[in-house]
Structure 1
């Protein structure tokens, strides 16, 4: 199985014993020595369907949108954005490394991202009125476009494409970390801000995030075909949220730069 550049999906190799990604689903009940099932499967252990992925992703995304909208309406101080970012990052690490399918953790992550996005969106929209709505529309358009490209087979998720996207994502992450570290020494690579280079970098990052959606769709599709348990849809929803949050931030940043020039 191909590995996604999204850290939430890197464990989805389907290797090892006991079913998909180590979650223990075999696609049928284990039998006792008397020929009867050892225990009836629960609703969460049935095979995952596309409806499971859609509903769980909608729940997570809806939480982010509602919390973000309320946060923007109330107008929290910018410091809350940093606090929410830290909480969201911590939750993301727990969910990723534990491969957690706990809906409470996923929804808590979505809520933290809602506070973060709502706070920075209100601030940027105050500086550049109208940019928030444009960023939301842009994110929806990119998501829908990539979904159509994937479902129609216009773009095939091949091993070569996967490696390219993973490498590009790692490069983007390294560039952002380097720029952050240099900022502590009052140095700037020019990849953020209101410069031509920053605009080019934002366009590049939007492209990388968009292609990450293809990998996310492919991983969800493969998990369904592999017979992953229904509860695993929460983990896939989390992975999609990680990509969508990054995509929205990059689109918001680009539109703000363009309109301030």
Structure 2
């Protein structure tokens, strides 16, 4: 898709999407318009045989007219990716996420915590596998969605127990950010320009390094705060920055999907697009619910 867009889409092979289809072959194996050795030239028929532009036998005038009135083949008919494909497959991924979350929201708290850890680790591994695979695997993408559902359900269960209502607020916040970002992208007011993407990559690298350091400090007991260094005013600022990065990642997703549809990417890559959107929406939800928990904890 778009070169330099969302890293999830980079490295995928779209070269076949923009190449012209091979010239149709005749029954003798030679391209149309050229005759094989010993064959009659194209558009010339032997004596007593029907010419190429004659009406096919067994078809009436009405049948021929109906055939000519048929609409030309669209992207879906030619095996190309469409926006509808992306929407349907993204909805399937999010449906699996919801099913996974429902499991950890209904079982006991101890089992929910265990499933949350399994979902977090398994989802991380499958995220890497799906990112670096040249060809998308629907089974692995849906498995990733299910594991992330376990993780999100367990996280929501724990935080919602401490701060009632924070889960519903995070869902509304995630949908709101997604809707606003999509409207801004469709209006053309926000685009993933090369300069903006360079800034995004620098900011994302800094945020990732901070997150690793913060996690190590929490695991080693250097900080006793529930969110480590992400507490108080610093936590709020970092949370807003992370939400901004996730929102811009959505813009990159939309840009890559639009480029893929326009260039005629193979239909199977609609799963790649759905995977990219699912990863970003999971990240956005985690950042929003964490920011809400930090704000509620400071009350």
TM-score (norm 1): 0.86
For 1:192 and 1:61, locate their aligned partners in 2 and report how far apart those are by CA, in whole Å: 31
Following superposition, the deviation at residue 28 of structure 1 comes to 4.9
Q: For residues 70 and 222 of structure 1, what CA distance do their matches in structure 2 show?
A: 37
Match of 1:198 in 2: 235
Structure 1 unaligned residues grouped into runs of 5+: 13-18, 37-42
CA distance in 2, matches of 1:72, 1:30: 53
1:30 and 2:65 correspond: no
Is the 1:85–1:112 Cα contact (8 Å) retained in structure 2? yes
The one of 183, 201, 205 aligned to 1:148: 183
Is 2:105–2:157's contact at 8 Å kept on the other side of the alignment? yes
Q: 1:68 to 1:258 in 2, by over 3 A?
A: same
Report the CA distance between 1:230 and its aligned residue.
Answer: 0.7
Unaligned 5+ runs, structure 2: 33-75
CA contact (8 A) 1:9 1:239 kept: yes
* Match of residue 102 from structure 2: 69
Task: List, as ranges, runs of 4+ consecutive aligned residues in structure 1 with deviation greater than 4 Å.
Answer: 188-193
More helix by share: 1
CA distance in 2, matches of 1:115, 1:45: 37
Which residue number corresponds to residue 50 of structure 1? Answer: 83
User: How far does residue 212 in structure 1 lie from its aligned partner after superposition?
Assistant: 0.8
Give, in angstroms, the shift of residue 100 of structure 1: 3.5
Correspondent of 1:228 among 265, 272, 284 = 265
What is the count of residue pairs matched by the alignment? 246
Q: CA deviation at 1:208?
A: 0.9
2:221 and 2:123 mapped to 1: Cα distance?
Answer: 27
- Check the 8 A contact 1:27/1:227 in 2, yes or no: no
Task: Tell me how far 1:48 sits from its aligned partner.
Answer: 0.6
Provide the alpha-carbon RMSD of the alignment. Answer: 2.2
TM-score, scaled to structure 2: 0.76
| 1:253–1:26 distance in 2 versus 1, CA, 3 Å | same
In the TM superposition, residue 183 of structure 1 has moved relative to its aligned partner by: 3.3
The CA distance in 1 between the partners of 2:9 and 2:217, in whole Å, is 30
Rg comparison, structure with higher value: 2
What are the Cα deviations for residues 126-167 of structure 1, in whole angstroms up to 9, with x where unaligned?
Answer: 110000000000000000000000011011221111111122
- Note closer, same or farther for the CA distance 1:72–1:192 as it changes in structure 2 (3 Å cut): farther
| Aligned with 1:89 (options 124, 128, 140) | 124
Give me the whole-angstrom Cα distance separating, in 2, the residues matched to 1:58 and 1:50: 12
1:239 corresponds to: 276
Greater relative contact order (Cα 8 A, min sep 6): structure 1 or 2? Answer: 1
> Match for residue 40 of structure 1?
none
Deviations 1:209-237 (A, max 9, x none): 11111011001111111111111000111
The whole-number CA distance in structure 1 between the counterparts of 2:85 and 2:19 is: 16
Alpha-carbon deviations, 1:7-51, whole Å to 9, x = none? 312325xxxxxx61x5x3346543455237xxxxxx797111110
> Matches of residues 67-216 of structure 1 in structure 2 within 5 Å?
67-75=100-108, 76-188=111-223, 192-216=229-253
Distance 1:111 1:191 in 2: 28
Contact 1:45 1:231 in 2 (8 A): no
